[in-house]
Every structure is written in structure tokens, then in C-alpha cells.
Structure 1
């Protein structure tokens, strides 16, 4: 699995694997590989979600800092 895999691609692949498992189209020999691949994809999705959450938190923190700085500057101007 590469880091180039997008969240959407990972979810789509997980859905494909799940559909195959639900319809019993996966033979026993392939089952282990599919389950391992699913675990990799889930880890990737979790990592991407954590990264997105962290980035969003940073954006909001910067906005709050900018608001506080503007309020401070406005208070000094009076």
C-alpha cells in the first residue's frame, strides 16, 4: 500500500472487499489476504482522518489567534 492511496480509494476498495465477503465470492485461500488488506486500508483511513483532524484544528487555532490579535490591536487603538 502506498501513501498515494487516497481516502476515497481506500474506502472504495474496502467496500469492494466487503461486498465480496458478503456474497461469498471469496474462497478460503483468498480470505486471509483480503482480511489483511482490509486491515491495511483501515489503518490508512484512520491515519488520514487523524491528519485531517489535526490540520483542521491547526487552522481553527490560527483563526482564533488572529481574532485575539485583532481584538487586542483594536483595544489599544482606543
Structure 2
């Protein structure tokens, strides 16, 4: 995976980890690492969603401003 994981990649990997945990496909030894990785992926997703929300809000604010002619 690339150094900078995008939202889709992070979300898909997170889904895979959850599935592995739910189905018991990982050992107890791997569980800690999977949980740590999941926490990192959640942070990536949250940061991207926050950035996207800020971008959208800024665009909407700019659209609401009266244009001077």
C-alpha cells in the first residue's frame, strides 16, 4: 500500500480487518497489531472526512457570497 493511504483504501482495509476479527480468522497474537492498524485507518478516514467537510463548507460559503459586478 502506498505511503499515503486514501479514504477508499483505508476503508476497505478496515472492513477486511473487521471481517477477519468477526470470523475469527486471526490469531490472538495478531489481534493487537490488527487493532492498532484499525485505529490508524480510522484516524485516516476521520481526517479525510473532516477535510472534505471543511472544503465543502468553504465552497458553499463562497457560493452564498454576493458577487460584485
Q: Tell me, yes or no, whether TM beats 0.5.
A: yes
2:67 maps to what in 1? 69
Structure (1/2) with the larger helix percentage: 1
Any gaps of 5 or more consecutive residues in structure 1? Answer: 74-78
Any gaps of 5 or more consecutive residues in structure 2? Answer: none
Post-superposition shift, 1:69?
2.5
RMSD: 1.4
Q: TM-score, normalised by structure 1?
A: 0.81
Residue-pair matches, total: 68
Structure 1 stretches of 4+ with a deviation exceeding 6 A read none
Q: TM-score, normalised by structure 2?
A: 0.90
Post-superposition shift, 1:34?
0.1
